[in-house]
Amino acid sequence: MEFAPVLRAEWLKIRTLRSLPGALLALFAATTVFSALAGVSDTSEADFDPLFTALSGVLPGQIAAISFGALAVSAEFHGGGLRLSLAAVPQRGRWFAAKATAVAVPVLLVGLVTACAALLVGRAGLGATADHLTLGEQARAVVGCGIYLMLMALLAAGLATLLRSGMGALSLLIPFILVVSFVIGDAAGAVVDYMPDRAGHVVMHQSYEGSPGPWTGLAVTALWAVAALGAGAWSLRRRDA
């Protein structure tokens, strides 16, 4: 079967499964609301970064992107859905590529729109403290934010395929992001800078020091996503439907 009809079929599944459009709506709502709240918060810290503050709603919002990726795959493991999908598309690699594309494209598009909205509401709250942000810095942060959210969704999709469980992927990823990054991140040293979330966040900062840089950080996140997708593809080929 050609790739295009397989992709259309996977997109139809995502569009008609009520929880998935809901996850994209939650991504937009949570990110913009928390960015608006961050914009009116105290800005007196010495290391205050107006660009990251305006986009900081992505920290809770990314949970919705991760949920989207995990749920899009885990739906196949209920009621024999995967068996039917693979009966229609025996080429497992082609089917998985279509599934990953159907996850990536909507999250990227919604992520870009969300980043624009979050930046606008965040800047409105920050007022004059954000006036010195350049157009290039803002464009880089918005595009990088959209790509970052897409990569995190793909990371979740790969793990859900490997574990054959959306809840398993969420139970692993969400505590990992919340605990490692926010609880032990500063104490763990430079290693944490190469974790998928911390590396990807650099692109949303106005200023940054050391390595990785903005696009290098996104490349690190991309490597994590590719590794998870590769592991998921291996599991899909090895196991029975």
Between CA 81 and CA 77 the distance in angstroms is: 6
Cβ distance 181 to 195 under 8 Å?
yes
Between CA 160 and CA 168 the distance in angstroms is: 7
- pLDDT tens digits, residue range 33-54? 999 998 887 665 657 889 999 9
- pLDDT tens digits, residue range 52-88? 999 999 999 999 999 999 999 988 887 677 788 877 7
pTM for the model stands at 0.93
- Domain ranges for the chain, please list them: 3-238
Instruction: Please state the separation of Cα 182 from the chain's center in Å.
Output: 17
Q: Tell me how crowded residue 50 is: count the other CB atoms within 10 A of its CB.
A: 21
**pLDDT for 169 beyond 70:** yes
